[in-house]
Amino acid sequence: MKKIFLILLGLALFYPALAQTNFRDVTYKEAIAAAKAEKKQVFIDFYTSWCGPCKMMMKNVFPLKEVGDYLNAKFVCVKIDAEKGEGPELAKRYKVKAYPTFVAIDPDEKVLMTKEGGAFDGREFVGSIDRLIDPNKSPERLQQRYESGERSADLVSAYAGMKMEQVYQNRRPDMSKKDEAFKMVQDYFNGLNDRERLKEENLFIYTSFTESPTDAIAQYMIANRNKFAPTIKDKIAGQIAALYKMEIQKYITAQVPFDQQQYDAVKRGILDLGLNKEDYYTGAFRLIECYGKGDLSAFLTLFEKEYDGLNDDYKASMMYNCAQLFAAGDETVKARVAKFLRGLFLEMDATMIMFVAQQLSQLEGGGH
C-alpha cells in the first residue's frame, strides 16, 4: 500500500508538467523578469496543498487546450503555494483571502485583475479572465457597446457571460440575470444566417447557452452537427453528448416529471446518434421507464437489481436523490430503501456516505 501511495504521489507531483497551461518553475521575481522580456503579463495561481478546488483546476481546467492557448499567449504563468516559501508574503501583498485565487499583474506589478474560486468550464474561465483584464470589456463598456447596437460574437459572448457570472454573485441566485443572458444569446442567434451560425466564433452559443437537447438552439445544433467548422466539430459532438447525459440524469433522479412523449424523443435521440456505447444508458432507460409507471415498490425492486450494473455517474446521482425519488412511497417502501442504502455503506467513500446519511434522515424522519 505504501508503494502504491508513493507512485500516486509521484504522478500527482508530475501532473502539472502535462498541463496544457505552461506553469513555469520560476520564482516571483523571475516571472516578472520573463514577462518584461517577452512583453507579457504575469498570471499567478495562489493555491494550497489542501485546497480541493485548486486540485480540480489543475486536473480538469488548466490542461484544456483553449485555456492553455489563451493563458500562454498573454501571460507568464506561475503557481504559488500561499503557505510555503515566498507564498505567505505574496499572498498578503495581493490580499489573497480564499483559494484558489488568481491574480494577473503587469511587469510593473500593477494588479490587472483578481479572481477568487475555481471553475468547471474552461471557456467560461477564460472568458471571465478576459473580461476582467480588458478595459473594453468592463461591465459599463459592455453595456455601452451593446446598447449602441454592436452585435459581434465577441461582445455577445462577453456580455452574456458577465450576466451569467452575476447570477451567483450573492447568496441568493438572481435568475433574472440568467434570463437576460439567454434572451440576449437567443436574439443574437435569431439574427444570424446558417453560414454564420456554423462559424467557430459562435461556438459559445452552443457550449454555454444550451441546457437540454430539447432546446430550440440545441435542436439546430444536433440537426446541423456535421456542418460546423471542422475546428469545432468535436466540441459540438461533446456538447450534444453532454446534453443528453444531463437530460437522462434529470429523469433518473426525478428532477423533471415523467412525460412519455418527451422521454421517448430523448431516448430516440440517444439511440439514433449512437450515444449508447457499451450500454451506457441501458440500465438507466429501464429504471426511468419503470419509475414512469408510478409503482414505487416495483421501481425499488428494479433499482436493487440494476444498481450494480449502473455506471458510476448514475449510481451517485440516484444515491444523492433517493429521498426525492421515493418521497411519495409508503412507510414500507421507505424502510426498504433505507435498508438498501445502509447495506451499501461499506462500498461508499466518505463524501457519498455524508450525502446518503442526509437521504436516510429524510426517508426515516430525521435523527438517524
Q: Which residues are catalytic?
A: 51, 54
- At residue 11, the 3 state secondary structure works out as helix
Give the amino acid at 310: L
40, three cell numbers: 507579457
Phi, psi of 221 (to 5 degrees): -60, -45
As beta bridge partners, residue 47 has: 81
Euclidean distance between CA atoms 248 and 266, whole angstroms: 8
Q: Residues 252, 289: contact at Cβ < 8 Å? A: no
Q: What are phi and psi of 78, to 5 degrees?
A: -140, 150
DSSP string, 287-340: HHHHHTTT-HHHHHHHHHHHGGGS-HHHHHHHHHTHHHHTTTS-HHHHHHHHHH
Which grid coordinates are listed for 353? Answer: 456516505
CB 166 within 8 A of CB 174: yes
Q: Tell how strand 101-105 and strand 75-81 pair up.
A: unpaired
Let me know if 21 is exposed, middle or buried by CB neighbors in 10 A (0-12, 13-18, 19+).
Answer: buried
Spell out where the chain has E strands: 41-47, 75-81, 101-105, 111-116
State the CB neighbour count (10 A cutoff) for residue 237.
16
Query: Do the Cβ atoms of 13 and 25 come closer than 8 Å?
Result: no
Residue 359 · residue 319 · CB < 8 Å: yes
